[in-house]
Structure 1
Amino acid sequence: MNQTFTLKEKTKQIFVLLVPILVTQLGMFSMVFFNTIMSGRYSSSDLAGVAIGTSIWSPVFNGISGIFLAVSPIAAQRFGQNKKEEVSTVVKNGIYLSVIIAILIIILGYFFLNPILDYMDLSPRVHETAFDYLVGLSYGLLPLFIFNVLRSFIYALGKTRVIMIIMLLSLPINLVLNYVLIFGKFGFPELGGAGAGYATAITDWVFLAMTIFIVMKQDPFSTFRIFSNLREFSWERCKEILKIGVPMGLSVFFETTVFAIVTILLSKFSVTTIAAYQSALNVVSFIYMIPISISTALTVLVGFEVGARRYKDAKQYSWLGIGVSVLIAIGTGLLVVAFRYQVAGLYSNESAVINLTANFLIFALFFQISDAIQATAQAALRGYKDVNVAFIMTLIAYWLICLPTGYLLANFTSLGARGYWIGLTIGLLAAGICLSIRLIHIQKHRFTVEAAQQ
């Protein structure tokens, strides 16, 4: 990354980082997309099982990944300060944390997965598919978590194309594995929706292998010597990562948990409703990769400028990123609404599922705009390493606004399942507004004062 001086240069810098991150995010989400599409083609029960499995796994994965994302702003600020050795130490301890957390998640899953599924009172076929799908995914936890730490390190240096290339090379492998394991082709066992979990786990190991090779062999990553002297464990560095990463992770966790809870609440409805909701959510989440990618770039750029004490540039990046995110959300939301039946047809052959999915997608426009604001405002705050207040704001928005509003609208009005979409949109908009106000406060007071004291 280089210092920029004009809005034009900053816009270009955002897109230089953004495009590879977006391709990577879309590629990673494509694995979930393929899981859902192929499982739906296998049977509606398998689609519902994968949907339930995903609703359980997504909050856990996104929450834990939020912890590893802390490596990016910390490393970016150290990089902006030209403290190369400290960047290496942060990444090494991030790897230690990833191994510890992966082991803990596997142990917890062993004891609590079946009780959670039993509590949901699913049909035997859906229960079995959800369980086997999650077991398959568990074999990829360790490589996935380590990969996320290394990805955050690579992003902190502004070299986002590297991860994009790894993703593009791995994606065809995942697609083929999905095909052969779900449908039992070329002599492989026919596992149905569960096969998607095993395919994803194998792909995670491929991700990690390629990433380690590049970090060890290619400049500028090899100069940081990440995998030399891994005994440099520092509890202080781990605490620094956790201090920023835990609020980040919890914020992501509680956001994704809201969607998971909605899926669970919808389980009292028919399999058609569950499948339609998951399909619509899959579409919205796929598009959400754009503001998420902008957010990742924004955290790195703001962190880099703050580390270099260029607070005016950090402020300009923050609002430029939010503006770009909202404009793109409006455009993609309008496209989804316009072609909702065609999009819904990708997920199922059943007319009932298609019609209900298309109906859900009408809410995509307002949902996307609200989500774009809150995601990028929160990302800018992460670049300033201001995460605690943001966490409280999102917690209130998700759990005291999203869920209660959605539940009331779904159960005490004629809206039914559609009420949950309205509740989610209102809550996300509230989060976006509050986070934007917090960003203004941080920029106007804390860093304006610090800049004046230099």
Structure 2
Amino acid sequence: MYETKTLKEKFKLFTIISLPILITQLSMYLMNFFDTVMSGRAGAEDLAGVAIGSSLWVPIFTGINGILLAITPIIAQLIGANATKDVPKKIQQGMYLATALALTVIIIGAFILNPILNAMDLEPSVRHIAKFYLITLSTGIIPLFIFNTLRCFIDALGQTRISMIIILISLPINLFFNYVFIFGKLGFPAFGGIGSGIATAISYWLVSVIAIIILKRIRPFQRYNIFSNWVKPAFVEWWEQLKIGIPIGFAIFFETSIFSAVTLLMSVYSTNTIAAHQAAMNFASLLYMIPLSVGMALTIAIGFEVGANRLKDARTYGLIGISGGVFIAIFNGIILLLFDDFVARLYNTNPDVIELTKQFIYFAIFYQLADAFGAPIQGALRGYKDVNTTLVIAFVSFWIIGLPSGWFLANYTALEPFGYWVGIIIGLSSGAVALLFRLFQLQKRYQVEKPKNSSPA
């Protein structure tokens, strides 16, 4: 990151930061995308099993990852304020916290996985695939969380291309292991959907190892000596990250868990309906990586400018990102409208599943419009370290407004399973409006308070 003077310079720097983040996010999600697509090729039961497993895992992963994302504004503001001497210990404490969170997830999962799956009305084969997909995937949780912490540090320095390179290296490896373990190649048995969990866990280990090697040997990371002079775990340091990260994590959890809750509520419908819902949601979520990347870039840029007390510049970055979100929403809608049949056929060859998937995609066109608008605003708010209000907005819009309205429409109107998607649209739209209001309110308040409480870097 560096200071910019003109709008043209800001747009150029923002593009330089955001494009690698976009490629990284798309590549990371492509691992899940190919898990789902390749599992669907193994059979509808495998696709449904991976859908259920993903529905349980994704909210946990994204929620915990939200806690880890707190490292980005912390480091960005330290860099903006030229307080680089504090960076190594922040990253080391972040890795300790990441490991502790991973172990907590694994231990809790060992006790609650069977009861949750048994409580669901699933076919035995689908339940078996979902269970062992999650068990195999869990062997890579620790390195995954460590990598995400290291990636936040890399991105906070503005070196987003490095994260991109790491993931681009790992993506074909993930595809290779998917092919081997799902379909039974090179002498291995065909595990079906469970094989995608094995492949993903191996990929998590690889990206973590690659990131550690890069940070130890390549500038500008090498000069920070992240892996030298280790400090002891300190709960005080953990709490600084948790104060920012927990609201981020829960806000993301409330958003992602509503999609998982919808998938779980759909377990009362046929296997074909579950498979079609998951296929449409999976592709729409792939498109969501675009506005999410814009939001992550805004966190870096705004955090840097706020740390340097350049509030006007931070506001300008916010306008750039939100404008980009509007354009992205229109682009994503066109993609879904034009390629609905092509997308549906990617996931399954069953004509019934294809037709149901296309119907779900029509609803996805509308819900991603609000999502593509709201994600950049969330990223901007994180750059200001404003996270508590976002948490409240996420909870109310998704769980008080979105899910109940979806449940009502699904159970008391002719929409049936599509009613849940209408509920998602309602929740996302109300959340996006509230987030925009909060951002304007915060920027106005910051303009008055920050000069009084901070001196320029």
> Shared fold by TM > 0.5?
yes
Using the TM superposition, give the Cα deviation of residue 118 of structure 1 relative to its aligned residue in structure 2, in angstroms: 0.4
The equivalences for 1:105-184 within 5 A come to: 105-184=105-184
Per mean C-alpha deviation after superposition, the further-off stretch among 440-449 and 290-299 is: 440-449
Using the TM superposition, give the Cα deviation of residue 452 of structure 1 relative to its aligned residue in structure 2, in angstroms: 5.9
In the other structure, the counterpart of 2:207 is 207
The whole-number CA distance in structure 2 between the counterparts of 1:452 and 1:87 is 26
Structure 2 contact 281–364 (Cα < 8 Å) conserved: no
In the other structure, the counterpart of 1:13 is 13
Structure 1 contact 406–421 (Cα < 8 Å) conserved: yes
Using the TM superposition, give the Cα deviation of residue 89 of structure 1 relative to its aligned residue in structure 2, in angstroms: 1.5
State the Cα deviation string for residues 363-422 of structure 1 (Å, max 9, x = none): 223211200122111111100001011101111001011101111111111111111111
The whole-number CA distance in structure 2 between the counterparts of 1:411 and 1:126 is 24
Residue 346 of structure 1 aligns to a residue whose secondary structure is helix
**Which amino acid in 1 is paired with 2:132?**
D
TM-score relative to the length of structure 2: 0.98
Using the TM superposition, give the Cα deviation of residue 446 of structure 1 relative to its aligned residue in structure 2, in angstroms: 2.9
**Which amino acid in 1 is paired with 2:357?**
T
The whole-number CA distance in structure 1 between the counterparts of 2:276 and 2:176 is 25
In the other structure, the counterpart of 2:265 is 265
- 1:371 equivalent to 2:355? Answer no
Aligned length: 454
The equivalences for 1:238-317 within 5 A come to: 238-317=238-317
Q: Which segments of structure 1 move beyond 4 Å, counting only runs of 4 or more?
A: none
In the other structure, the counterpart of 1:383 is 383
**Which amino acid in 1 is paired with 2:383?**
G
State the Cα deviation string for residues 18-68 of structure 1 (Å, max 9, x = none): 111111111111111111111100010010000000000000000000000
In the other structure, the counterpart of 2:423 is 423
The whole-number CA distance in structure 2 between the counterparts of 1:216 and 1:78 is 21
The whole-number CA distance in structure 2 between the counterparts of 1:233 and 1:146 is 15
Using the TM superposition, give the Cα deviation of residue 234 of structure 1 relative to its aligned residue in structure 2, in angstroms: 2.8
In the other structure, the counterpart of 1:86 is 86
Residue 121 of structure 2 aligns to a residue whose secondary structure is coil
The whole-number CA distance in structure 2 between the counterparts of 1:6 and 1:144 is 38
Using the TM superposition, give the Cα deviation of residue 8 of structure 1 relative to its aligned residue in structure 2, in angstroms: 1.7
Residue 347 of structure 2 aligns to a residue whose secondary structure is coil
**Which amino acid in 2 is paired with 1:432?**
A
**Which amino acid in 2 is paired with 1:140?**
G
TM-score relative to the length of structure 1: 0.98
**Which amino acid in 1 is paired with 2:436?**
S
The whole-number CA distance in structure 2 between the counterparts of 1:299 and 1:232 is 29
Using the TM superposition, give the Cα deviation of residue 235 of structure 1 relative to its aligned residue in structure 2, in angstroms: 2.3
Structure 2 contact 62–256 (Cα < 8 Å) conserved: yes
The whole-number CA distance in structure 2 between the counterparts of 1:115 and 1:132 is 14
Structure 1 contact 337–364 (Cα < 8 Å) conserved: no
Per mean C-alpha deviation after superposition, the further-off stretch among 434-443 and 234-243 is: 234-243
The whole-number CA distance in structure 1 between the counterparts of 2:402 and 2:13 is 35
Using the TM superposition, give the Cα deviation of residue 176 of structure 1 relative to its aligned residue in structure 2, in angstroms: 0.6
**Which amino acid in 2 is paired with 1:162?**
I
Residue 363 of structure 1 aligns to a residue whose secondary structure is helix
Structure 1 contact 330–368 (Cα < 8 Å) conserved: no
State the Cα deviation string for residues 49-105 of structure 1 (Å, max 9, x = none): 000000000000000000000000000000101111212121111000011111111
**Which amino acid in 1 is paired with 2:224?**
F
The whole-number CA distance in structure 2 between the counterparts of 1:416 and 1:338 is 25
**Which amino acid in 1 is paired with 2:87?**
V
The whole-number CA distance in structure 1 between the counterparts of 2:452 and 2:150 is 36
In the other structure, the counterpart of 2:440 is 440
**Which amino acid in 1 is paired with 2:196?**
A
The whole-number CA distance in structure 2 between the counterparts of 1:351 and 1:221 is 52
Structure 1 contact 291–372 (Cα < 8 Å) conserved: yes
**Which amino acid in 2 is paired with 1:236?**
V
In the other structure, the counterpart of 1:75 is 75
The whole-number CA distance in structure 2 between the counterparts of 1:210 and 1:450 is 40
Where in structure 1 are there 5+ consecutive unaligned residues?
none
Structure 2 contact 121–268 (Cα < 8 Å) conserved: no
State the Cα deviation string for residues 127-163 of structure 1 (Å, max 9, x = none): 0000010011101000000000000000000000001
Residue 362 of structure 1 aligns to a residue whose secondary structure is helix
The equivalences for 1:331-410 within 5 A come to: 331-410=331-410
**Which amino acid in 1 is paired with 2:157?**
L
In the other structure, the counterpart of 1:318 is 318
State the Cα deviation string for residues 222-281 of structure 1 (Å, max 9, x = none): 111111122343322211100000000001111111011100111100001100000000
The whole-number CA distance in structure 1 between the counterparts of 2:122 and 2:230 is 45
The whole-number CA distance in structure 1 between the counterparts of 2:347 and 2:43 is 11
The whole-number CA distance in structure 2 between the counterparts of 1:307 and 1:80 is 5
The whole-number CA distance in structure 2 between the counterparts of 1:378 and 1:222 is 31
The whole-number CA distance in structure 1 between the counterparts of 2:126 and 2:317 is 46
In the other structure, the counterpart of 1:2 is 2
Structure 1 contact 89–232 (Cα < 8 Å) conserved: no
The whole-number CA distance in structure 2 between the counterparts of 1:435 and 1:6 is 27
Using the TM superposition, give the Cα deviation of residue 451 of structure 1 relative to its aligned residue in structure 2, in angstroms: 2.6
The equivalences for 1:30-41 within 5 A come to: 30-41=30-41
**Which amino acid in 2 is paired with 1:228?**
S
RMSD of aligned residue pairs (Cα, Å): 1.0
The whole-number CA distance in structure 2 between the counterparts of 1:212 and 1:424 is 39
Structure 1 contact 330–365 (Cα < 8 Å) conserved: no
